[in-house]
Chain A
Amino acid sequence: MATGNLNLLRNAFSKLRIDHVFTRSLQRPRYRPPYWYAPKESATSDEFLTQENKQFIEEVMQDKMQLQNSLQSPLVNIDQNETPTWNPQTRRVGLIARKIGNYPLWTKDGKKVLTTLLQVVDNHVIKYIPPEEFNPMKTSSVQWKEKRKLGCMLVGSETIDPSTVTREYCGLFSNAGMLPKRHLFRFMVSPESYISPGTPLYATHFRVGDYIDVRAKTMDRGFQGVMKRWGFKGMPASHGVTKTHRRPGNIGSGGEKARVWPGTKMPGHMGNRWRMLRGVKILRINTQHNVIWTLGVAIPGETGATCYLFDTVLPLKKHSSSPPFPTQPLVDDLPLEYFDESIQRFDERSITYEEV
């Protein structure tokens, strides 16, 4: 009894530290999530879940899925004459896609081109915030005086089990009558390209032959040396070189500049950064599986990486005519596949060259 009291007393005294002074840091926090952000992961344990409860949850989820699938796209009720027309200054919403691999296609003149396949999985508009109400977190000290012109549109993709995420995160989607999605992304759109929440987006949002910008995270390569990270040449393998085959060599000069200059290329972490690839051409679209074939293999990330697709901003590759605006509604009699006119279909006859 006495020893217990003594221990309590000792603990109380040990907390009374006089050498420790709290100071408020002047540095502002670097990242403050936007107000609509809700923590996503929920740490639940299955300890108290009985088999019946699990089944009940399954049933509820099935019902909700059916409800979501039976939801009619809000685009159906919109009168075509009332919708604003597209002009080159408008910004449309983009898509969230998943990179699913590469394979070659052939052009009509017999050239082999490698393509990247992007699958648009289950994209829905979740929320729209008009420009007047949109007040994002301030990331830089520069304050923009001009009025905001772009609204914010939240798009989600890939429905997940609601029991794996927090209630707040589910709440974001319930207004649109949706189940929670794995990915949620913000697109800045002009107000005339408003789409009401709950509208599904398909791969046909883009057309064949269009150019898009793709934003994704590059492959994570970890801590890399200077040869892999910056393409330095290294030093010779022989001729008396010892222990400096892959090292950077000199990183500065003497005199006034006797220090390492900012921005010097050095070893460090490589990859896992957001990168935008601009001006990627769409060669083929599958409307059944919502797959987009894009030219080239330079889209960042591994197979299975998430990427965001936008209309390109490159002035020479922008849309010349109106794309599906605000988006392509679901039409039953769409052809299964669209091909760019330069691409040879696999069920066409073999390529022959005419004698001139």
Chain B
Amino acid sequence: MALAIRRSSSEVFGAAKWFIRRDCRVLSTVPERAEEKPVTPKRERQAVSRVRASARNPNLGLRHAYPEFLPDPNPKWRNSLREKLERSDMLKRRSQIDIPEFYVGSILAVTIADPHAQGKTNRFVGICIERKGCGLRAEFTLRNVVDHQGVEVRYDLYDPTVQSIQVLRLEKRLDDKLLYLRDALPEYSTFSFDMDPEILPEGTPVPVNPVQVKLKPRPWLERWERQELKGVANIEEHLKEKDRVRRELRATPWEKYDLMKQYRKTIPIEDQNDIWAEVNHQLRQLQLTRKTSARKRTFTTPKPQLG
């Protein structure tokens, strides 16, 4: 009898553990996935608890702003010492250059040292269409249309030839990759190089730009219709009946319930807590020093720009 009780209690405990872990797992989703919150009336309680958990742990907010501090979740490549060394190198680089918070969809201006350019520097303005890589391999891609020609430049975030990264407009888009801008009308990825930075008032959440782009007629670079994109307006116009049938056949609606797949894609919350506890203090310090120096800079008179 006693054994039976013990067994049942252990089962209850195991179930509770499983539930807690599942609940926490949602918090550790990859930044792209974490945005979408299925708010149904049945799940309201769970959603509330999620919000509470993230409010309790302020460090977890950093995983969207600094996604590259989380290592690659592939267990074959993980090593705690290597990750630690990598993080310290990243912080050292961040102490030399201001790497601001930005997202896919933000408009950035990047200045790099270029031995072949006139004046030995090169400035490029564009919309960030992709951001990927972990640690020192982190990279992002900027896209712009210059002289009716689409141009994309891939930058390493921690490359020491980068002189400055400036966020001209801080915003998010509806999708986590904007690669479809390559097949969209050029006005959606055209930005002038002398754009002024738009400054958001302090404390406001990062705005989401709900713009839906219009795609050019086919041929396309990818099968956009199969990717469940939210930021494309006219995808149905260009489809034939055949494409719709194929899309239905290829759809994988069960994948959002695949807990194992989600697990393999994410870093467990316990690991994340350790990482953010290590990094958070230094990041805050860097932000503070940046702010004070920026305040000082506002009083200097701007130099007249030549050319």
Contact = CB atoms under 8 A, between A and B. Distances in A.
A349 B96 contact: yes
A101 B90 CA distance: 16
B85 A352 contact: no
Interface in A318-347: 344-347
A92 to B, nearest CB: 26
A350 B163 contact: yes
A348 B160 contact: yes
B95 interface: yes
A103 B93 CA distance: 15
Interface class of chain B by DSSP: helix
B158 to A, nearest CB: 8
B114 interface: yes
A119 B89 contact: no
Contacts of A100: 79, 81-82
Nearest to A347: B92
A347 B137 contact: no
Contact of B85 (A291, A347, A350, A351): A291
Interface residues of B, number: 31
A103 B160 CA distance: 15
B137 A110 contact: no
B145 interface: no
A312 B282 CA distance: 41
B119 A119 contact: no
Interface string A299-331: 000111000000000000000000000000000
A350 B81 contact: no
Interface in A250-301: 286, 289, 291
Given A344-B160, A347-B95, A355 B81 contact: no
Nearest to A119: B81
Contacts, number: 76
Interface in A101-131: 101, 103-104, 106, 110, 112, 117, 119
Q: Give the size category of A's interface with B.
A: 20 to 34
B115 interface: yes
B160 A289 contact: no
Contacts of B160: 106, 110, 344, 346, 348, 350-351
B76 A303 contact: yes
A353 B114 CA distance: 7
Given A103-B135, A106-B159, A348 B120 contact: no
Interface string B121-135: 100000000000001
Contacts of A303: 76-79
A354 interface: yes
A344 B120 CA distance: 19
A114 to B, nearest CB: 9
A110 B115 CA distance: 10
A276 B287 CA distance: 47
Given A110-B161, A347-B95, A353-B114, A304 B79 contact: yes
B120 A104 contact: no
A101 B134 CA distance: 13
B156 interface: yes
A345 B93 CA distance: 9
B47 interface: no
Contacts of B90: 346
Contact of B96 (A104, A291, A304, A350): A350
Contacts of B135: 103
Contacts of A103: 82, 86, 89, 135-137
Contact of A286 (B85, B96, B114, B161): B85
A147 B159 CA distance: 55
Nearest to B158: A346
Nearest to A106: B160
Given A104-B136, A117-B82, A117-B85, A348 B113 contact: no
Given A103-B136, A106-B160, A351-B113, 10 more contacts: A103-B89, A106-B161, A112-B156, A346-B160, A348-B96, A350-B97, A350-B160, A352-B120, A353-B113, A353-B115
21 contacts: A101-B77, A101-B79, A103-B82, A103-B135, A103-B137, A104-B156, A106-B159, A106-B161, A112-B159, A117-B82, A119-B81, A291-B85, A302-B76, A303-B76, A346-B89, A347-B92, A348-B96, A350-B113, A350-B161, A353-B113, A353-B114
> Closest 3 A-B residue pairs measured CB to CB?
A101-B82, A346-B92, A347-B92
